[in-house]
A and B are shown apart, each in its own frame.
Chain A
Amino acid sequence: MKKLTRRRLEESIALGFMYISLGLVTGALGWILLTLIIKGAPALTWSMVSQVPQGGFYLGKEGGILNAIIGSLYLALGGTMLALLFSLPISLGLNVYIHRKAKWALIVRSILDVLWGIPSIVYGAFGFTIMLALGMRASLLAGIITLALVELPIMIRSMDEVLRLMPRDIEHASYGLGATRIETAFRVILPQMLPGLVTAAMLAFGRGIGDAASVLFTAGYTDRIPTSLMDPTASLPLAVFFQLSMPYPEVQKRAYGAALILTIIVLLISILSRWIASRVSRYSVK
C-alpha cells in the first residue's frame, strides 16, 4: 500500500513538471506573438505589403516594405533550395551508402553540430570576405549563398536524424528485390520519410528567413525590388532591425508590422509544405 502511494506521487510530480514546462514555454511564446500582433497589426495596411518605401527609408513613414518581403522570399527560398541540393545527397550518403556507425560519419556529424552552433554573423563575415575576394558587391546571389551556408548544418543534421529512423526492414525489402542503393533511396526511402524531410527543410527555411546577421553584409539593403541576382536586396529581418532602431514611434510600429509579416510567411509556408507532404505520403508504411 505504501509503495503504491509513492509511485502515484512520482506520477503526479512528473505530470506537474510537464504542465509547468508546457505552461511557461507556451506562455512566453504566446506573449511574443501577442506583442507582435498588438503592436504590428495597426501597421498592417494594404500599402505596407504592396508598395516599396517612399520618401527615404530611414525616416520613411510612407509606402510599404514590399522590397523586404520580396527580398526575404527570394533570399530564403533560394538559400533553402541551394541547401537542399547539397543536404539530400549528404544525408543520404551518411545513411544509405556508408554504415551508419562508421568512424568518419561520426566525425562529419560532430563537425556539422559545431557548425550549427556558430553565430550567423560569422557566416556573414565569411561570405563578405569571399565576396571581396571575388570582387562582388553585396547582392541577392551573395545573400543566397551565405544563407545556404547557415542553413546547411541544420538541414543536413535534421535530415540525417530523420533518415536514421528509416525502418531497415523496408529498405532491405527493396535490396532483396535487387534494387541498387540509389533506386532504394529515391523510390523507397525518400517517399517513406518525406514528412520528416519536409520538416527538416522547413526548420532550415525558418532559420534562413529570420536571419539578419548573415545577410547584413552580403545582401545589403535597398528600397528597390531586385531584378537580377547581382542586385542588392532588402530583407524582413533587416527591415525590423533598422526600423526598430529609429527613435520615431511611427517607424517602430512598422518594425512590428514587418515582424508580423515575417511570422505569417513562415506559418503559411509551413502549412503549405505539410499539406503537400501529407498528400504525397499517403502510401508510407506506418
Chain B
Amino acid sequence: MENHIQIRNLNVRIGNTQIIHDVSLDIPDGQVTAILGPSGCGKTTLLRSMNRFLELTEDSHITGEVLLDGKNIYDQDVDVTEIRRRIGLLAQRPFSLPMSIYENVAYGLRIHRVNNSRNLKPIIRHYMELAGLWDEVSKRLHEPATALSIGQQQRLCLARGLALEPEVILADEPTSALDPISAQHIEMKLQELKEKYTIVLVTHTLRQARRLADHVVFMYLGEVVEQGSAKEVFENPQMERTKAYLQGSIG
C-alpha cells in the first residue's frame, strides 16, 4: 500500500497562534482516512494545508512539507491551480457558484480546458450521475444552482469537483450542515468513491468515522496523538487521550 500524501513536520501559525504543531502523517492511497478530534484541534487547518488553501488566509505561516506522490506541493515550481485540480475539496456547506446548475459543473472543465469538445453535456451528465444528482436535476439544468436544496447543492459541489478527475478528495465535515437523508446520500457516495479516489475526511461524528474510515488520525490541540488503521485505533487505542475521546469524556 502506497502513501498518496505524506506530511512532514508541518507547522502552521495564523497570526500569533500556532494551530498545527509539528505534524507528520501518511495518507494511504485509495482509502478513506478520517481525521478525528475535538473542535478547535486543527483538523480543518490540517486539511486545508493539503490543497494550499491556507495561503488564502491572511497572516498564515506554513513550514514543513506536504508531499503529493513524493513532490512537495509548497515548492516554488508547483502550479497551485494544478494542485487544486488534483486535490478536490468538499466544504462543510455547499457554496454554489453564481451560475446555472449546468454551468457549475462545466466551470472547472472550462477553466482547465479539460475537454475541448463543444458539447460538454455527456460529460456533465456522467459526473452528475456519479454524484447521484442527475435524475433530480436533468430537467432544470439551466436554473440557478441556488434553486436546489442544500443537500442537492452539496451533491452538485461533489459533481463539479469530480468533473476535474481529482486524485484526492478532501471532505471537511461534508455532512454537518445537511439533513439526515442528504447526509446519508453523501456518505453513501463517499463509500462508493473510495474505490477510485483517496479520501481524507474530517469529521465530528465518531459513528460516521466508524462507518467510513479505513485509516484514522486522532488530533488534539494541534498535534497528532495517534494514527493507524481504523480497526486498531477504534478497538485498541494506545494513547490515553484517544481512549478518552472515543469514550466521550473529552471532545
Of B18-26, B106-114, B126-134, B180-188, the one with at least 4 CB within 8 A of chain A: B106-114
**B85 with A192: CB separation less than 8 A:** no
Contact check: which of B51, B53, B97, B112 meets A174 at CB < 8 Å? B97
B58 surroundings in chain A (CB, below 8 A): 99-101
- Tell whether B146 is near chain A: CB-to-CB under 8 Å: yes
A175 and B111 contacting across the interface, CB-CB below 8 Å: no
Cα distance, A93 to B6, chains bound together (Å): 35
In the complex, A170 Cα to B99 Cα: how many Å? 11
Chain B residues within an 8 Å CB radius of A284:
98, 144
Contact B99 A177 (CB under 8 A): no
Does B12 reach chain A (CB closer than 8 Å)?
no
* Assembled-state Cα–Cα distance A183/B93 (Å): 23
In the bound assembly, the distance between CA atoms of A187 and B103 in angstroms comes to: 11
Q: Is the CB of A170 within 8 A of B98?
A: yes
Q: Which of B89, B96, B103, B145 contacts A176 (CB 8 A)?
A: B89
Most buried by B among A99, A179, A188: A179
Inter-subunit contact A188/B108 (CB<8 Å): no
Interchain CA distance A178-B112 in the complex, whole Å: 8
A285 close to B (CB within 8 Å)? yes
B55 nearest in chain A by CB position? A175
Chain B residues in 8 Å Cβ range of A99: 58
Please tell me if the beta carbons of A176 and B98 are within 8 angstroms of each other in the complex.
no
* CB contact under 8 A between A179 and B96, given known A101-B58, A172-B53: no
Taking CB atoms and an 8 Å cut-off, the chain B residues in 88-141 that contact chain A are 88-89, 91, 93, 95-100, 103, 107-108, 111-112
Question: For window 36-61 of chain B, which residues contact chain A by CB distance below 8 Å?
Answer: 51, 53, 56, 58
Pairwise interchain contact B111-A179, C-beta atoms closer than 8 A: yes
A-side contacts of B99, CB under 8 Å: 187, 191, 283
Q: Contact at B56–A172, with CB atoms within 8 Å?
A: yes
Given A177-B107, A177-B164, A178-B111, decide whether A172 and B145 contact each other with a Cβ distance below 8 A: no
The distance from the CB of B86 to the nearest CB of chain A, in whole angstroms, is: 8
Residue of B nearest to A173 (CB): B95
Bound form: Cα–Cα A179–B85 in Å: 9
Most buried by B among A170, A177, A180, A283: A177
Q: Is A286 an interface residue (CB 8 A)?
A: yes
A187 and B104 CA atoms in complex are apart in Å by 11
Query: Any chain B CB within 8 A of the CB of A282?
Result: yes
For B, the interface residue count at a CB cutoff of 8 angstroms equals: 31
Q: Is the CB of B108 within 8 A of A177?
A: yes
The residue that A192 contacts in the complex, of B56, B98, B157, B164, with Cβ under 8 A, is: B98
B173 to chain A, nearest CB (A): 14
CB distance from B120 to the nearest CB of A (A): 15
Q: What is the distance, in angstroms, from B143's C-beta to the closest C-beta of chain A? A: 9
B192 at the A interface (CB under 8 A): no
* Contacting residues, chain A, for B83 (C-beta < 8 A): 178
Number of A-B contacts (CB under 8 A): 84
Name the CB-closest residue of A to B86: A178
Query: Which chain B residues numbered 136 to 168 have a C-beta less than 8 Å away from chain A?
Result: 144-146, 157, 160-161, 164
CA distance A100 to B58 in the complex (A): 9
The smallest beta-carbon distance between B60 and chain A, in angstroms, is 10
Contacts of B145 in A (CB 8 A): 283, 285
The reply on B195 being an interface residue by CB < 8 A is no
Check B100 against A177 for contact (C-beta < 8 Å).
Answer: no
Q: Does A169 touch B at the CB level, under 8 Å?
A: yes
Cα-based distance from A174 to B164 in the complex (angstroms): 13
B residues in contact with A183, CB < 8 Å: 111
Which of A183, A192, A282, A283 gathers the greatest number of chain B CB atoms within 10 Å? Answer: A283
Q: Which residue of B lies closest to A176 (CB)?
A: B89
Residues of B contacting A170 in the complex (Cβ-Cβ under 8 angstroms): 95-98
Contact status B96-A285, CB under 8 Å: yes
**Please, how many angstroms separate the alpha-carbon atoms of A286 and B96 in the complex?**
10
| CA–CA, A150 and B65, complex, Å | 51
A178 touches B95 (CB 8 A): no
Q: Which of B81, B93, B98, B100 contacts A178 (CB 8 A)?
A: B81
B82 contacts partner chain A, Cβ-Cβ < 8 Å: yes
Give the contacting residue for B157; candidates A167, A173, A191, A285; CB below 8 A.
Answer: A173
- In the complex, A201→B88 CA distance in Å? 37
- A177 & B95 in contact (Cβ 8 Å cutoff): no
> A177-B161, A178-B85, A178-B108 are contacts. A188–B144 as well, Cβ < 8 Å?
no
Q: How far is the CA of A167 from the CA of B84 in the complex (A)?
A: 20
Interface residues in B170-204 by Cβ distance below 8 A to A read none
Chain B residues lying within 8 Å of A178, measured Cβ to Cβ, are 81-85, 108, 111-112, 164
25 contacts across the A-B interface (CB closer than 8 A) = A100-B58, A169-B91, A169-B95, A170-B95, A170-B97, A174-B97, A175-B53, A176-B51, A176-B88, A177-B88, A177-B107, A177-B108, A177-B111, A177-B160, A178-B108, A178-B112, A178-B164, A179-B108, A180-B81, A180-B111, A187-B107, A187-B111, A191-B99, A281-B98, A283-B100
Question: Which A residues have a C-beta under 8 Å from some C-beta of B?
Answer: 99-101, 167, 169-170, 172-180, 183, 187-188, 191-192, 281-286
